[in-house]
Chains A and B, each alone.
Chain A
Amino acid sequence: MSKIFTTPSGFAGSTLVQVLRHSLRLVILLGIIGTGLVAHYRVFVTKEKINVIRAEVNPTLARRTALAMDDFFHSGDDQRGIEQKHLSDIRGNTWSADIYGFSVTDPLAGAESVASSRHITRSLLIGLILPVIATLLLGRFFCSWICPAGFLFDIADHLRSLLQKLGMPTRQLHLWRGNKYVLLIVGLILSAIIGIPILGAFYPPAVLGREISHLSASFFSVLSDYPVVTGISFSGFFIIGIILVETFISPRLWCRYVCPGGGLYSLLGATRLVRVRNDLKQCTSCTECVQVCPMGLNPMKTESPGIECDQCMLCLNSCPPGSLTLDFGLPKLSKKNDD
């Protein structure tokens, strides 16, 4: 056991961590909505300015001349003109974002883009540095700490338990856990063959970001003089469908059995340094952690819940004897704990 450091007992398993986790995901979900709205609001305002300048330069051809635009963009000491000023400091969504010039791209986006284009570009490499290193260190933390779709699926979980309390029958459908790896590999090969990154169309965080972007763009487009009808996407129904299925048929169906992104994060985080460990001597086999685990794993039976653990720390919170701890240490290579 190459345990280097154990968290101070109590903190990792405290309710404060859960509150932090939920609020972080809520902030990210609201942030995606906010950045979409703010970005399109800024665009809306700049566009109005551009139209005013066009009208001033040539009133008869209002909005209809590019020579005015040249003056607009190449005036003053800054040759780049307005183009740099209007760029939003925070833009994008969890699929691919840019925070104060710091580019972050989802590893799944990188993987499928590399597969379909058959080469890796410099910008993509820069964007992948932070997420990949964080996943190598912390494992599948994206799913429980960042993913905005996971937040909605958590709400579906609570809805499910509420319905159960009200006496509504809910089903417990279980699928094979390997599905997500199969889907990941098939999706990447398919992307390479058809030459189009296809996985992003079915990946809930990407779908959510795209829908919000569509909606905010449409909102401000309708306000402008020349409304451009943005694309109609029915991906929102996809998310609602998953939530309904998870509420009534199978708890956490997508995250447990289907999500290709979760599969990629699991594989990347296989040798992660921070992981939940179970002290089998103290464990009283009360099955509290098994009941509470959103990923349907079994932290009780083995020393570590395996590569699919998403570091949500709910099991630490629930453990009555305190035998579960969050450890920082190198992985044990001798024994495989994949469940």
Chain B
Amino acid sequence: MVLPLIEKLPLVAQVKLRRFLRPPGAQKEALFLQNCIACGQCANVCPNQCIDLYGIEAGLENLGTPRITARAQACILCMACTQVCPTDALEKLEPTKEGKRAVQMGIAVLSEDLCYSFAGRTCGVCYRACPLPGEAMTIGLFEQPHVHAEHCIGCGLCEQACIKMPQAIRIIPRLELEETEATKAESS
């Protein structure tokens, strides 16, 4: 009875670009913000302590919602947070290969200028950190990493592992990448 009435209301959701990742199982940013009630249970159960909660610094819309800073502590894809979400803002996923492949947190973007392997010094740490080696990331001559964006889930383990300072590989939240690509397409 009420839902059809709500359907008639206009939706003026404005999603800002963000720098942090959402936990695994999160859908697109607008859908995630609609569902998340900021209860903080995902941050309570994370065994890796990688999820922390936004304060007031990112605006009221983000207050109390979870975030992951990959460089500090990346997600190990145990999927504990997706099991406890009371509003399904984080879709329930299993900690198996199939569950991992369904995650869409972001895309790893490699800066070849910064990467040691592309400068002739073999490293390959990011490849060894990748939870989907051979799929999301392959390795070439001198351990040069190659990211396959269509398979990358954006867990951030490569960014955490990168021994270069600042990191040569970093995770761009999927939505942010989509937006920048859209603006690039518009300008060109």
A39–B80 alpha-carbon span in the complex (Å): 13
How many residues of A are in contact with the other chain, CB < 8 A?
79
CB of A36 within 8 A of CB of B44, answer yes
With both chains docked as a complex, state the minimum distance between the C-beta of A199 and any C-beta of chain B, in angstroms.
10
With both chains docked as a complex, state the minimum distance between the C-beta of B15 and any C-beta of chain A, in angstroms.
9
CB of A47 within 8 A of CB of B47, answer yes
Q: List 22 A-B contacts (CB under 8 A).
A: A66-B76, A80-B95, A88-B45, A95-B38, A96-B87, A114-B6, A117-B31, A118-B7, A120-B3, A192-B6, A192-B9, A193-B9, A194-B13, A195-B30, A196-B60, A198-B60, A210-B40, A217-B52, A228-B69, A230-B55, A231-B55, A233-B55
With both chains docked as a complex, state the minimum distance between the C-beta of B21 and any C-beta of chain A, in angstroms.
13
A221–B10 alpha-carbon span in the complex (Å): 41
CB-based A-B contact count at 8 angstroms? 225
Stretch at the interface among B105-113, B122-130, B169-177, B180-188: B122-130
With both chains docked as a complex, state the minimum distance between the C-beta of A227 and any C-beta of chain B, in angstroms.
8
Q: Other than the known A65-B161, A228-B50, what 20 A-B pairs have Cβ atoms closer than 8 Å?
A: A42-B47, A43-B46, A43-B48, A50-B48, A66-B155, A73-B95, A74-B95, A83-B80, A88-B45, A96-B86, A105-B39, A116-B33, A121-B35, A124-B87, A192-B9, A193-B12, A195-B12, A196-B60, A200-B38, A234-B55
Q: A88-B44, A113-B35, A195-B33 are in contact. Are A231 and B86 (CB under 8 A)?
A: no
5 closest A-B pairs (Cβ-Cβ)? A231-B55, A195-B13, A96-B39, A233-B55, A117-B34
Taking beta carbons and an 8 Å cutoff, which residues of B are in contact with A? 2-3, 6-7, 9-14, 30-31, 33-41, 43-50, 52-58, 60-61, 63-64, 67, 69, 72-73, 76, 78-80, 83-88, 95-96, 125, 128-131, 133, 155, 157, 160-161
The listed residue (A70, A118, A123) touching B85 by CB distance below 8 A is: A123
Q: Is A272 an interface residue (CB 8 A)?
A: no
* B residues in contact with A124, CB < 8 Å: 86-88
Q: Which residue of A lies closest to B76 (CB)?
A: A69
CB of B64 within 8 A of CB of A210, answer yes
The listed residue (B7, B14, B53) touching A214 by CB distance below 8 A is: B53
B interface footprint on A194-238 (CB within 8 Å = 1, 0 otherwise): 111110110000100110011001001100101011111111000
A311–B71 alpha-carbon span in the complex (Å): 51
Q: Is A92 an interface residue (CB 8 A)?
A: yes
CB of B40 within 8 A of CB of A73, answer no
CB of B56 within 8 A of CB of A233, answer yes
With both chains docked as a complex, state the minimum distance between the C-beta of B28 and any C-beta of chain A, in angstroms.
12
Q: Which residue of A lies closest to B90 (CB)?
A: A123
Q: Is A19 an interface residue (CB 8 A)?
A: no
* A residues in contact with B58, CB < 8 Å: 231
CB of B40 within 8 A of CB of A92, answer yes
CB of A224 within 8 A of CB of B49, answer yes
With both chains docked as a complex, state the minimum distance between the C-beta of A319 and any C-beta of chain B, in angstroms.
40
CB of B129 within 8 A of CB of A230, answer no
CB of B39 within 8 A of CB of A95, answer yes
Q: Which residue of B lies closest to A92 (CB)?
A: B41
CB of A213 within 8 A of CB of B49, answer no
CB of B52 within 8 A of CB of A231, answer yes
Chain A residues 145-201 with CB under 8 Å of chain B are 189, 192-198, 200-201
With both chains docked as a complex, state the minimum distance between the C-beta of A279 and any C-beta of chain B, in angstroms.
39
* B residues in contact with A115, CB < 8 Å: 6
Q: Is A127 an interface residue (CB 8 A)?
A: yes
The listed residue (B6, B56, B60, B73) touching A228 by CB distance below 8 A is: B73
Q: A83-B79, A87-B45 are in contact. Are A231 and B13 (CB under 8 A)?
A: no
